[in-house]
Structure 1
């Protein structure tokens, strides 16, 4: 006689299909999803969409309400917005913040809501960094070596004189102009007698720099925005998710910004206006992107190059003299800028033909910012450069549209600050944007002497691995 072993469900008196899996555990299953993907944007004094996600009360009642409807996931925006197409602007979390969620994560949220959206009353969520897989990026040293080879070949073709030139960005045909700056010696820093000088501006030191070209104007949105905004899915490091060595060029391999989380001109104007609010890493990568197209090596200026070009042979507080009343002819600043930046090139240039070296927007330099800069360069005053060792502070020169006359003198210096990312909702903070630095832009230089691939790599990546 055969022994019939009945399934457990029958022994328990349950019909098939009524034995449900264990309930979703909020603390173990749901909270980690929210804390790594959602809470950084939906917390603090200005949460995205006015929707807070730190406590049960906030999650169920803040914003426009109705985000979570227990037992009705298909009617709960908390779930439905996570399963939108990846290109939908309302997708949560958006692509720029690491979205979309995985299928298992959205399934967990759906089940949790279907089971009643249970949330311990005293459970408070806190944002935590998202740890994801590390991907190989095509923007590596091998890429830089290929760009270097293109630059060397281009130099051999040109063999031109050191003179001013106009050029167009190949992929956009947007034009820009470079001014030839002769090499030479100058006294860097401000004298102790200069009105409103600061201690970090000296002691004055004689410095020499090699010849280079510098952008006639600050980099504009016309030049920068096609680099900043692309219709390509990118990882947080800016590399293309679809990169193919057979189908894409060295230009495609350069890391470019992920989509911005707000309109980055902040309504101040775009065509002909200076690009703003980029991190130093973003400015460096723009230089690499431009170099990969043109066959010319571009980077940010060193502090010494910047001040040398700004002074243009002068020794006064400004490139036009010591009288701040003349600033109205040469600069946009607090007294005349109407609380916003202005189009580049409208004010008089300095003696070497450079516009807006004083005011309009502050400009990134390549150096680590050190208050005792002049002490550090005493024994290396030829092409001095303080190689960055940490992300903050980095050097910024020129002053901006919201500054007083003392901050836009030729010798005025300042350092970058992490507070420039204060309103950035991403965690970790974006490597591309300084939302709270609306006075900050940059201009480019091209040294007459082509550096080694190793030097190029450092210039273009000095702010990449120190976050």
Structure 2
């Protein structure tokens, strides 16, 4: 499906419904991936939804901002514009908040979602969960009304005047990952006995860590999930990274060529679309989950003493990636925590401490972020549950992806 961006900017002088008395300037940015040209209709419907509330003035912006966005897109080989770039352009245009609206399609059904991007704070103060609709004349205006109400804090709004119960209901966002609940507990982190003589120096000292309950992705973030949220394919990620090739392409393959910084932006956008607080797992959470949590059998790899059983790695991958979930899961039902792609963790990379710790987030500062799990190009020893690696947060490589976590 050809990706189309329709950009419209409007300046809104408003009294924000989420509790700020100050009248603020908001810019509307619309990204249309429907393939049907629904972006123009979406802007019209959302503008009408704002105007009819009686408190907002809508003024067409100058063509200058549209030129700024178009120029930025032309500079981006992938054709995408990041939140950081949108904030920069919004600041240049005098906007305090940017209302970013996305129209997409998944499994033959259209949806619209929206979020506010704060120019100054770099936060997302208001978001609207996605609304599904059938066509521009069947449920779309109601969906636009509902996300507008949600973004302006009217959480109980039921939508527009034309009822469409079958298509107007809020549903689970199509990019949301399947999660596994992990009961917290205490474990030995680092070079434990089952690792034998394979341990590296940074896996020591072995130390006791306690983690609270959390959830973690059953699978690594897939290329389909990435494209639904970020709008780029793995091939476009390769171009951004300057990579020479792709290694496994498909909806259910893990996304790669993703930096730690981009993983954080994906999570920010996913949170805006779902109203949840996804995040990257800490290194301690990652290792606890990889070891099987409170169901751990003490395996060397995540779910087995045999790398072949649970991991795509150098000896069995055929020098390419594979779809997620095609090896055996570990004790908790989590897939691919050994092999497949390296996975970003939240933590700065640093040395372990010997003292017992609770919900540790690693080093307080650093220049490199933690990677875990090994990849399809790794030897088995690097796919062990205690093996550690690291890269700079801006690094994009064909062997690096991620999975998400969620606090409970």
Q: Aligned partners of 1:387, 1:168: CA distance in 2, in Å?
A: 39
Q: Aligned partners of 2:334, 2:78: CA distance in 1, in Å?
A: 41
- Given that residues 241 and 257 in structure 2 are in contact (C-alpha distance below 8 angstroms), is that contact kept between their aligned partners in structure 1? no
Q: Aligned partners of 2:206, 2:124: CA distance in 1, in Å?
A: 37
- Given that residues 396 and 416 in structure 1 are in contact (C-alpha distance below 8 angstroms), is that contact kept between their aligned partners in structure 2? yes
Q: Aligned partners of 2:345, 2:407: CA distance in 1, in Å?
A: 14
1:343-388, Cα deviation, whole Å (9 max, x unpaired): 0000000000000010000000000001x1235xx26x11000265
Aligned to 1:200: 202
- Given that residues 265 and 275 in structure 1 are in contact (C-alpha distance below 8 angstroms), is that contact kept between their aligned partners in structure 2? no
Q: Aligned partners of 1:289, 1:359: CA distance in 2, in Å?
A: 27
| Secondary structure at 2:371 match in 1 | strand
| Secondary structure at 2:302 match in 1 | coil
Q: Aligned partners of 2:264, 2:364: CA distance in 1, in Å?
A: 13
- Judge which range, 350-359 or 176-185, deviates more: 176-185
TM-score by length of 1: 0.50
The counterpart of 2:390, out of the listed 403, 415, 422, is 415
Aligned to 1:182: 183
Structure 1 unaligned runs (5+)?
1-84, 100-130, 154-166, 232-256, 419-430, 449-467
Q: What is the RMSD of the two structures over their aligned residues, measured on CA atoms?
A: 3.9
Q: CA separation of 1:356/1:87 partners in 2, compared to 1, >3 Å: closer, same or farther?
A: same
| Secondary structure at 1:222 match in 2 | helix
1:21-77, Cα deviation, whole Å (9 max, x unpaired): xxxxxxxxxxxxxxxxxxxxxxxxxxxxxxxxxxxxxxxxxxxxxxxxxxxxxxxxx
Q: CA separation of 1:415/1:175 partners in 2, compared to 1, >3 Å: closer, same or farther?
A: closer
Q: Aligned partners of 1:332, 1:442: CA distance in 2, in Å?
A: 15
1:233-267, Cα deviation, whole Å (9 max, x unpaired): xxxxxxxxxxxxxxxxxxxxxxxx9x947689725
TM-score by length of 2: 0.57
The counterpart of 2:365, out of the listed 371, 389, 398, is 389
- Given that residues 175 and 226 in structure 2 are in contact (C-alpha distance below 8 angstroms), is that contact kept between their aligned partners in structure 1? no
Q: CA separation of 1:92/1:272 partners in 2, compared to 1, >3 Å: closer, same or farther?
A: closer
| Secondary structure at 1:206 match in 2 | strand
Structure 2 unaligned runs (5+)?
1-66, 80-87, 98-116, 129-149, 154-169
Is 1:319 the equivalent of 2:310? Answer: no
- Given that residues 303 and 329 in structure 2 are in contact (C-alpha distance below 8 angstroms), is that contact kept between their aligned partners in structure 1? no
Aligned to 1:374: 353
1:414-438, Cα deviation, whole Å (9 max, x unpaired): 11148xxxxxxxxxxxx5xx44x11
| Secondary structure at 1:329 match in 2 | helix
The counterpart of 2:216, out of the listed 214, 217, 220, is 214
State the structure with more CA Rg.
1
| Secondary structure at 1:187 match in 2 | strand
Deviation, 1:196, is 1.2
User: Which of the pair has the greater relative contact order for Cα pairs under 8 Å at 6+ separation?
Assistant: 1
Deviation, 1:340, is 1.1
Equivalent residues, number: 266
Q: Aligned partners of 2:200, 2:387: CA distance in 1, in Å?
A: 8
Aligned to 1:441: 401
Aligned to 1:358: 338
- Given that residues 289 and 332 in structure 2 are in contact (C-alpha distance below 8 angstroms), is that contact kept between their aligned partners in structure 1? yes
Q: CA separation of 1:201/1:147 partners in 2, compared to 1, >3 Å: closer, same or farther?
A: farther
1:369-416, Cα deviation, whole Å (9 max, x unpaired): 01x1235xx26x1100026534x3100000000000110100000111
| Secondary structure at 1:287 match in 2 | helix
- Given that residues 388 and 394 in structure 1 are in contact (C-alpha distance below 8 angstroms), is that contact kept between their aligned partners in structure 2? no
Alignment of 1:85-164 (within 5 A): 94-96=74-76, 135=92, 138=97, 139-140=117-118, 141=121, 143-146=123-126
